[in-house]
Amino acid sequence: MSARSRFSDAERAALPVLPMLLVAWADGELTAAELDAVRSMLPAGGAGLGRWLDPAQPPSAADLHDLRGRLAGAAADAGLSAADRRGLAELGLAVARADAASSGAWSDTDGAALQALEHDLGIYGPGASARFFDADLDPSGDGFQLEPLPDARVAQLRALLDGPHAAWKDRTRAALADPRFRHPGELNTAAYRERVLAWLHDLVDAGLTGSMMPAASAGAPDLGAFAATFETLASFDLSLLVKFGVQFGLFGGSVLFLGSEAQRAEWLGPILRLELPGCFAMTERGHGSNVRDLETTADYVPERGVFVIDTPHNLAGKEWIGNAAAHGRMATVFARLRVAGDDHGVHAFLVPIRREDGSPMPRVRIADNGHKMGLNGVDNGRLWFDGVEVPRSALLSRFGEVSAEGAYASPIASPTRRFFTMLAALVGGRVCVAAASSTVAASALTIALRYGARRRQFGPEAAAETPILAYPTHQRRLIPRLARVIALKVATQGIVARWASVATSDDDARELEALAAGLKVLASRHATDTVQECREACGGQGYAAVNRFAALKADSDVFTTFEGDNTVLMQLVAKSVLGAFKAKLSDPLPLALVRHVAQRAATALAEKNPVIRRLHDSEHLRDGAFHRDLLAARVEELTDEVARGFKATLDAGADPFDALLRWQMPMVDLAHAWMEAQVHGAMRDAVEGCDDPALQALLNDLCDLHVLTHLDDQRGWFLERGYLSAAKSRALGPEVEALCASLAPQAVSLTDAFGLSPAVLGAPIAQ
Ligand SMILES: Cc1cc2nc3c(=O)[nH]c(=O)nc-3n(C[C@H](O)[C@H](O)[C@H](O)COP(=O)(O)OP(=O)(O)OC[C@H]3O[C@@H](n4cnc5c(N)ncnc54)[C@H](O)[C@@H]3O)c2cc1C
């Protein structure tokens, strides 16, 4: 051994591969093929390296410990720092060059081959060396420093996330800044409901319901402003949010979207001023997701010019109806419209349910849904109608009318199509729940990231403990979620804009419906999972009610169920994607088919090409075209598979319902794949449309982290279908980790762009 070297002659000859060998053995056993690849790199096949290359007698724990110490020492001598975030090959070469006795033995060409070896061993990435050497190279943990973004950049990002209705968001924030809006702590159910009702009146007084209708009963509604208000309200108490949604979005929205001009003029004013608290009574105990088969009836009696609303049996009672248990005085009731025995399908009727003194109207029975898992400030209840008479004008008549004599007329002939057109008109509920879900996730992340930057646990002896946000695991848990919530917020804006503009065609309306449903699913699932992850990321402090996670978790949980159960909604999304595909293929022009086949071929060429399949350098992994192609390939392949499979099942004689069951799982996969491509597309557009280079670079990192995390999660599918090689698939995780590490110092600053005030956020651990 040279006096100036820590390594034996054989080790010196192999110095650049030693860090790799060390980390690979520390991770688990190396296969004979992998060891052959290492041997091929070494002079004379690595003779003298002994057990480091012998799978029959692998290095012991003591060997690993010893070599690790010597390599860490040599790295320190060479002035290397963990902050450099080198790959293992690069680290090995640097140590070799610094080692006097071995310097000059390795060229730059060897460097490229070493990096290829690193990839093959699956220990690629700048994080790999830090992972092993951090403790020695960076003993204090102070290597992790927050790097706040410049105020101007935070302001730019906030402007982007606030979007075109920023003024309404600011107005809502200003209203919530009033000291009346403080988290009240424990209240019993009755007191909580009254508190929420009082808050709702405060919001009306602050002019926030004007976001829905500027002039109360006339003029075009500003739907984008309503969504912005709703999204911002979700930063405070979620019972207030839901009560706001029930009164203005659902009850008000039913009149706005299903009513005639005259009905809007009559009812919207009192509804928006909260003089007429009301409900949206669609769900029944017997029929929740399947609302087409609701059983409440509305029979027209021409002699008296009335509809008779009836609950035919107990299971047809309305269930879970917000505002029903205590405060609602009228309900939009969904019931089957029948005239002289003819069933024209489900329609909406305005039915008074309570007098001003709070007592139920005659023939209306009301029960309380009782204490719930969350949202206990909302009075959900059950309703039964025992032959309640309402005037002919109670029918919300945009999509169907009955003349005084009993003649039914509708602009849409098919009852099923009519009903789904009505439901489509109510698509805004899903858009708003999606927007609110992102705010919930943003709140949870803001609390967890602020706490994580301050909270210290473990560290080397005689040095400050390490902030938990410095740990790669902590970063991996939180930073991709931060990137996703930003992507979801960006995507939400595009969908809100489409909702707020008048749909130009049936196809537009159908696509919007699918987008709203899909976004609601992605955002509510993300919120639910993120709240849980953030709670855990704050340890015991996360469990204290005062730190908000208990309420966030309990109150937002049901976002995955109401406004359409997530699993059921994804089938609607899939049907829409398949419908568009079918329309394209059944287009009389064979051109459409040719175009489709050409597109598929292009994707297959780009992604299944063996060279591209194996590329796994950082530049390629972060190429937007690569991401787009992979996401598009998945949508195309699943669309093809489901469409052809479904048809083959039908051709084999199965009935359509059975065929649906056979293909239900891939349909839901297809819906997820399509939505992920949509969200990524929206985020990519935001990156490309950004004209400030610094903000653009930041958005690009967030966009890449978001999509790479998704690809990493789904890499099994891409690997199985041949879109990724094993090495490329393995390289995704380290790339995600590297992005997490580079964004972590700015994470707290990024949460400032959500515009959540400390008072509204609550949570002492986040202050
Ligand atoms: C707090 C709260 C507030 C609410 N507020 C209102 C309100 O104000 N007005 C109103 O009208 N309604 C309201 N609802 C009702 C809500 O919209 C329904 O609960 C929801 O639509 C789901 O219906 P369900 O509960 O009957 O579940 P179900 O339809 O019975 O679903 C149960 C499970 O079965 C699965 N499932 C059902 N069908 C299928 C299928 N075809 N394929 C695969 N899986 C399937 C679902 O995924 C779900 O997991 C509220 C509900 C809650 C909990």
Residue 562 CA to ligand 1 center (angstroms) comes to 6
Summary mean pLDDT of the chain: 89
Confidence band of 17 (pLDDT split at 50, 70, 90): confident
pLDDT tens for each residue of 670-692 = 999 999 999 999 999 999 999 99
pLDDT tens for each residue of 157-201 = 999 999 999 999 999 999 999 999 998 888 999 999 999 999 999
pLDDT (0 to 100) of residue 68: 81
Residue 427 CA to ligand 1 center (angstroms) comes to 16
pLDDT above 70 for 133: no
Residue 288 CA to ligand 1 center (angstroms) comes to 5
- CA 507 – CA 490 distance, rounded (Å): 23
- Tell me the CA distances in angstroms from 241 to 224, 493, 555, one per residue in order: 17, 19, 10
Residue scoring higher pLDDT (728 or 119): 728
pLDDT (0 to 100) of residue 77: 82
pLDDT (0 to 100) of residue 419: 87
Q: Give backbone dihedrals phi and psi of 395, rounded to 5 degrees, phi first.
A: -70, 120
Beta bridge partners of 335: 347
Residue 747 CA to ligand 1 center (angstroms) comes to 36
- CA 402 – CA 408 distance, rounded (Å): 4
The pLDDT of 364-384, averaged and rounded, is 98
Contact assessment for residue 257 and residue 398, using Cβ atoms and an 8 Å cutoff: yes
Written as six digits, the tokens of 377 are 């400030």
pLDDT (0 to 100) of residue 158: 98
Nearest alpha carbon to residue 307 among 399, 388, 211, 415: 388
- CA 647 – CA 604 distance, rounded (Å): 24
pLDDT (0 to 100) of residue 590: 45
Confidence band of 129 (pLDDT split at 50, 70, 90): low
**Ligand 1 neighbour 558 (Cβ under 6 A):** yes
Give the angle 237-562-259 at the CA atoms, nearest 5°.
95
Contact assessment for residue 363 and residue 333, using Cβ atoms and an 8 Å cutoff: no
pLDDT above 80 for 613: no
| Dihedral sign (CA 214, 219, 223, 225) | negative
Residue 227 CA to ligand 1 center (angstroms) comes to 23
Residue scoring higher pLDDT (724 or 116): 724
Beta bridge partners of 278: 330
Number of Cβ within 10 Å of residue 662's Cβ equals: 17
Contact assessment for residue 715 and residue 606, using Cβ atoms and an 8 Å cutoff: no
- CA 182 – CA 178 distance, rounded (Å): 8
pLDDT (0 to 100) of residue 505: 66
- 598 exposure class (CB count in 10 Å sphere: 0-12, 13-18, 19+): exposed
Helices and strands (H, E) in the chain, number of each type: 30, 10
The pLDDT of 72-100, averaged and rounded, is 78
- Tell me the CA distances in angstroms from 110 to 388, 466, 579, 635, one per residue in order: 86, 37, 54, 40
Written as six digits, the tokens of 134 are 């951090």
Beta bridge partners of 350: 332
pLDDT (0 to 100) of residue 71: 86
**Ligand 1 neighbour 247 (Cβ under 6 A):** no
The pLDDT of 274-285, averaged and rounded, is 98
- Tell me the CA distances in angstroms from 333 to 85, 306, 347, 381, one per residue in order: 62, 15, 8, 13
Which amino acid is it at 710? H
Give me the percent of the chain exceeding a pLDDT of 70: 88
pLDDT above 90 for 441: yes
**Ligand 1 neighbour 282 (Cβ under 6 A):** yes
**Ligand 1 neighbour 324 (Cβ under 6 A):** no
Residue scoring higher pLDDT (195 or 463): 195
Q: For 548, how many CA atoms within 13 A lie in the half-sphere containing its CB?
A: 31
pLDDT (0 to 100) of residue 139: 36
Confidence band of 554 (pLDDT split at 50, 70, 90): very high
Which amino acid is it at 530? T
Residue 153 CA to ligand 1 center (angstroms) comes to 42
Nearest alpha carbon to residue 487 among 189, 701, 670: 701
Nearest alpha carbon to residue 71 among 96, 54, 49, 90: 96
Contact assessment for residue 472 and residue 741, using Cβ atoms and an 8 Å cutoff: yes
pLDDT above 70 for 85: no
Beta strands 330-339 and 381-391 are unpaired
Confidence band of 218 (pLDDT split at 50, 70, 90): low
pLDDT tens for each residue of 564-582 = 999 999 999 999 999 887 7
Confidence band of 637 (pLDDT split at 50, 70, 90): very high
Who contacts 638 (Cβ-Cβ below 8 Å, separation ≥6)?
Answer: 666, 669, 670, 673
563 conformational bin, left if phi > 0, alpha if psi -120 to 50, beta if neither:
left
Beta bridge partners of 346: 336
The pLDDT of 221-245, averaged and rounded, is 95
pLDDT above 70 for 757: yes
Greatest Cα pair distance, the chain, in angstroms, is 112
Contact assessment for residue 240 and residue 318, using Cβ atoms and an 8 Å cutoff: no
Written as six digits, the tokens of 322 are 């917000």
pLDDT (0 to 100) of residue 222: 86
- CA 385 – CA 314 distance, rounded (Å): 10
pLDDT (0 to 100) of residue 116: 80
- CA 427 – CA 512 distance, rounded (Å): 8
pLDDT (0 to 100) of residue 160: 97
pLDDT (0 to 100) of residue 589: 41
pLDDT (0 to 100) of residue 702: 98
Mean pLDDT check: name the lowest of 286-290, 389-393, 435-439, 616-620: 616-620
**Residue the block writes with tokens 């568009």:** 580
Residue 564 CA to ligand 1 center (angstroms) comes to 6
Q: Is 651 helix (H, G, I), strand (E, B) or coil?
A: helix
Which amino acid is it at 205? D
pLDDT (0 to 100) of residue 586: 57
Query: Helix 18-27 and helix 108-121: axis angle, to 10°?
Result: 0
Written as six digits, the tokens of 195 are 């508190």
Residue scoring higher pLDDT (212 or 184): 184
Q: Ligand 1, from 238, 433, 565: best to mutate by most atoms within 8 Å of Cβ? A: 565
pLDDT (0 to 100) of residue 67: 85
pLDDT tens for each residue of 310-356 = 999 999 999 999 999 999 999 999 999 999 989 999 999 999 999 99
Residue 367 CA to ligand 1 center (angstroms) comes to 19
The rounded Cα 18 to chain-centroid distance in angstroms is: 42
Number of Cβ within 10 Å of residue 4's Cβ equals: 8
Contact assessment for residue 491 and residue 679, using Cβ atoms and an 8 Å cutoff: yes
Beta strands 318-321 and 401-402 are unpaired
pLDDT above 60 for 134: no
- Which residue has the least CA distance to atom 42 on ligand 1? 568
- Which residue has the least CA distance to atom 47 on ligand 1? 567
Contact assessment for residue 554 and residue 373, using Cβ atoms and an 8 Å cutoff: yes
The pLDDT of 612-633, averaged and rounded, is 86
Beta strands 342-352 and 330-339 are antiparallel
Confidence band of 1 (pLDDT split at 50, 70, 90): very low
- Which residue has the least CA distance to atom 39 on ligand 1? 568
- CA 767 – CA 305 distance, rounded (Å): 62
pLDDT tens for each residue of 730-743 = 999 999 999 999 99
pLDDT (0 to 100) of residue 600: 59
- Which residue has the least CA distance to atom 2 on ligand 1? 320
- CA 730 – CA 670 distance, rounded (Å): 24
Written as six digits, the tokens of 396 are 């919300």
pLDDT above 50 for 560: yes
Confidence band of 118 (pLDDT split at 50, 70, 90): confident
Give the nearest ligand 1 atom to 246 CA.
8
Nearest alpha carbon to residue 574 among 526, 637, 624, 518: 518
Model pTM score? 0.82
**Ligand 1 neighbour 322 (Cβ under 6 A):** yes
- CA 151 – CA 163 distance, rounded (Å): 18
Written as six digits, the tokens of 419 are 């009903």
Beta strands 408-409 and 401-402 are antiparallel
Mean pLDDT check: name the lowest of 222-226, 378-382, 520-524: 222-226
**Ligand 1 neighbour 380 (Cβ under 6 A):** yes
Written as six digits, the tokens of 616 are 């796994």
